[in-house]
């Protein structure tokens, strides 16, 4: 496995965890192999091959907001459209629009 381009996170009780910027860049992570920004507010998160997502419960949370007057949401799609069983999707919204937002993911 190659050395990641981001600092490693210390998340001793998680199989995987990451802090991710709105543009899809990883701030720090453990067990997260790659994050891709697919479109506005749409991301694909790939975890290590030793993590069985069929038995996991991925969690996600938004980080900070500039405009708190518009409701924000974040959703996880455990069955990302790719055929990779180690990948799940994350979508972030402000109101009804998909928007790029920083978030964290945790796979306990």
Computed over every residue of the chain, the mean pLDDT equals 89
> What local confidence, expressed as pLDDT, does residue 42 receive?
96
Whether the CA torsion 106, 9, 7, 32 is positive or negative: it is negative
What's the pTM value of the predicted model, to 2 decimals?
0.88
How far, in Å, CA of 70 to CA of 55, rounded? Answer: 34
Q: What is the mean pLDDT of residues 20-39?
A: 95
Q: How many CA atoms lie within 13 A of 52 on its CB side?
A: 2
How far, in Å, CA of 91 to CA of 1, rounded? Answer: 28
């Amino acid at each position: 496995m190659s050395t990641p381009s981001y600092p490693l996170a210390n998340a001793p009780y998680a199989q995987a965890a990451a802090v991710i910027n709105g543009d899809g860049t990883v701030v720090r992570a453990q067990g997260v192999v790659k994050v891709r920004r697919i479109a506005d507010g749409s991301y694909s998160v790939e975890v290590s091959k030793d993590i069985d997502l069929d038995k996991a419960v991925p969690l996600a949370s938004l980080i900070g907001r500039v405009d708190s007057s518009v409701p924000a949401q974040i959703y996880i799609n455990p069955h990302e459209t790719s055929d990779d069983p180690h990948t799940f999707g994350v979508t972030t919204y402000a109101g009804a629009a998909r928007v790029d937002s920083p978030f964290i993911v945790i796979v306990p």
